[in-house]
Chains A and B, each alone.
Chain A
Amino acid sequence: MGQILAIAGNSFKDSVRSRVMLGVFFLAIVMIVSSLVLGALSFGEERKITADWGLFCTSLFGVIITIVVGIQQIHKEIDKKTLYNVLAKPVSRSHFLFGKYLGTMSVAVASILIMAIVHQGLMLESTGTFEPRLLIGVLADLLMVMILASVATFFSSVASPFMAGLFTTGFFLAGRWLHEMKYLILQLSRMDSAFAHYMTWPLKGLYLALPNFAIFDIDGELVHQIALPNGYLLLLAGYSITYSAVLLLAAVRAFSKRDFL
């Protein structure tokens, strides 16, 4: 465990000391704060705009930061060969990957939490009270990037950074539009053509394999103060833990057999 934490802590330091990451984070904060301007422009809708925009920015930058950090963390180690120094120590490859995953998660969690705090400050500024219920959206974001970080870790342990970036982003977008995919499958299966029928098979496979990121999007419910089903967050947590565990184990399997050239 000490080794995993050492590797995670080192990844965290890398991101925190990197100019690029600080730049992205600064941009995120600027974007969130700009909701004040948007709010001021919309008469009477200030609360809604500030709430909506803040949640949107937190999710968006949470996702961007997770993908960027998740992929470059592992790639950099291989490319610059700093990995040799780690794996030549009595460190197993699974510990290395878990450490990297935890490192990515620590950066994602820290930035999402800071964005959330800034957002709450803005809510106070524009409406006179904090709005703790919006933090449920933040929790959903955290559970979502847990899966996303495992997707990034998986792809960077089997593919080049470019391909890993492409696939991880693809997974995210497809996973976010899974409802639309389901609709498409339904449409195809109703059509009166053999081709359309066969087309549904790979789509159904994808539908089952892709992480369902759509279930984490509860911003609408929160902003419009609609109640969530009972135990919804528990469901999300269970889903996140299961999905990321499976993917991390797959990543370890692939990574353990790899030659480091």
Chain B
Amino acid sequence: MKPTANKDNTIFLAELKSVNKVFRPGVGKKTVHALKNISLEVRQGEILGLLGPNGAGKTTTIKLLLGLLFPSSGKVRLFGENPADPASRKKVGFLPENPYFYDYLTAREYMSLAARLCGMEKNETQKAINYLLEVVGLTGAEGKYLRKFSKGMLQRLGLAQALINSPDLLILDEPMSGLDPLGRRQVRELIRNSNVRGRSVLFSSHVLSDVEAICDRVIIINHGQVAAQGLLSDLVSRNETKVEITVERPPQGLKDRLEAKGCVVSEAGGVLSIRLADPKMQDVVIEEIHGAGGNLHSLVPLRPSLEDVFMKEVGEKAEGV
């Protein structure tokens, strides 16, 4: 049960090493190469976002880690063990995509089933169940049958059952899908708050704002391959910063002269705005504005959003297919 560590002693709770996964849906049907030689790892204490468009291979990656699927080739490790060994999942909590729970059980019955499946003792479960139901805001619904639960309530129950064994690694597959804005926000906060005592969280999403709001590190996957990965801050600053300059009451002809220099210029409401892809251009442009007797109103560096990074990595590849 020892997590594996690499040279610099970073602890990996879970890893995929050169993993391929090929689905053979049946005789006569096309095989699907869902993961192509993918390698990634989950480090201790981080909130890792697995980001990718539909069909990228996020769910496949997660199911491999949990031993629900077996790799066609390559190596999968969970807490240093083969996921086929149930003991590797002792310290793992999982919330599946579009979770469905036994709808003939009440919330409390479901939670106590989850506890028993984790091998917990009867006397320690009741307290844990009450506590978790309160954390996810389901106090008062303990005796209700799950078939009467709304989607948001089910999602929160899913989080509660994933936390029952106080896992060191929480794996969530699209935990915010199908929730209204309020529900998304609650789940976001739950994830943020659950990242305590060195617990790691791996969650998949194709919603950029969710990833941006809660992740430390991001792995973007596309067509079964890692397209980009890194700390959120690094990923975003790796791409050059753009600059936007605005000029109020611009003098005649300034727009034409800037455009002649190759700048993208737009005019609205008597304000000229100039977007520069290359920040080195900004001195030239400012000189030009002063030379024309114009009045520099603002100069704003535009930090690229994760969306820009995502579109760059995923958009280009998609066109290249």
Interface residues of chain A, those whose CB is within 8 Å of chain B, are: 2-3, 6-7, 10, 13-14, 17-18, 80-82, 84-92, 95, 256-257, 259-261
Contacts and interface: CB of A to CB of B under 8 A. Distances in A.
Given A260-B68, A260-B69, 17 more contacts: A6-B113, A6-B116, A14-B102, A81-B96, A81-B98, A82-B102, A85-B101, A85-B114, A86-B117, A87-B67, A88-B94, A90-B86, A90-B89, A90-B119, A91-B117, A260-B63, A261-B23
24 contacts: A2-B116, A2-B119, A6-B116, A10-B105, A17-B104, A80-B100, A81-B100, A82-B101, A82-B102, A84-B66, A84-B96, A87-B68, A88-B68, A88-B94, A88-B96, A88-B171, A89-B89, A90-B87, A90-B88, A90-B119, A91-B117, A92-B86, A260-B63, A260-B68
B118 interface: yes
Nearest to A81: B100
B68 A3 contact: no
Interface in B266-300: none
B161 interface: yes
A92 B109 CA distance: 21
Nearest to B171: A88
Contacts of B118: 89-90
A92 B219 CA distance: 30
Nearest to A15: B104
Contact of A89 (B101, B102, B109, B114): B114
Interface string B169-206: 00100000000000000000000000000000000000
A123 to B, nearest CB: 35
B92 interface: yes
B154 to A, nearest CB: 12
A87 B66 contact: yes
B151 interface: no
B68 A84 contact: yes
Contacts of B104: 13-14, 17-18
A13 B171 CA distance: 29
B12 interface: no
B86 A85 contact: no
Contacts of B86: 90-92, 95
**Which of A17, A89, A95: most chain B CB closer than 10 A?**
A89
Contact of B89 (A14, A17, A18, A88): A88
Contacts of B117: 3, 6-7, 86, 89-91
Contact of B113 (A10, A92, A261): A10
A91 B84 CA distance: 10
Contact of A10 (B87, B96, B102): B102
A8 to B, nearest CB: 11
Which 4 A-B pairs have CB atoms at the shortest separation, nearest pair first? A6-B116, A88-B94, A89-B117, A17-B104
B146 to A, nearest CB: 11
Interface string B75-89: 000000000101111
A44 B10 CA distance: 87
B100 A88 contact: no
B282 to A, nearest CB: 53
A90 B69 CA distance: 15
B36 interface: no
B92 A257 contact: no
**Which of B86, B90, B92, B98: most chain A CB closer than 10 A?**
B86
B175 to A, nearest CB: 14
B99 interface: yes
Contacts of A259: 68-70
A86 B109 CA distance: 14
A204 B78 CA distance: 48
A89 to B, nearest CB: 4
A161 to B, nearest CB: 17
Contacts of A261: 23, 69
Contacts of B161: 85
A18 B295 CA distance: 77
Contacts of A85: 94, 96, 99, 101, 114, 161
A257 B70 contact: yes
A259 to B, nearest CB: 5
A142 B114 CA distance: 31
A17 B103 CA distance: 10
Interface in B91-134: 92, 94, 96, 98-102, 104-105, 109, 113-114, 116-119
Given A14-B102, A90-B87, A257-B70, A84 B94 contact: yes
Given A10-B113, A85-B161, A260-B69, A90 B96 contact: no
**Which of B84, B94, B100, B102: most chain A CB closer than 10 A?**
B102
Nearest to A17: B104
Contacts of A6: 113, 116-117
Interface string B151-176: 00000000001000100000100000
Nearest to B112: A6
Nearest to A83: B68
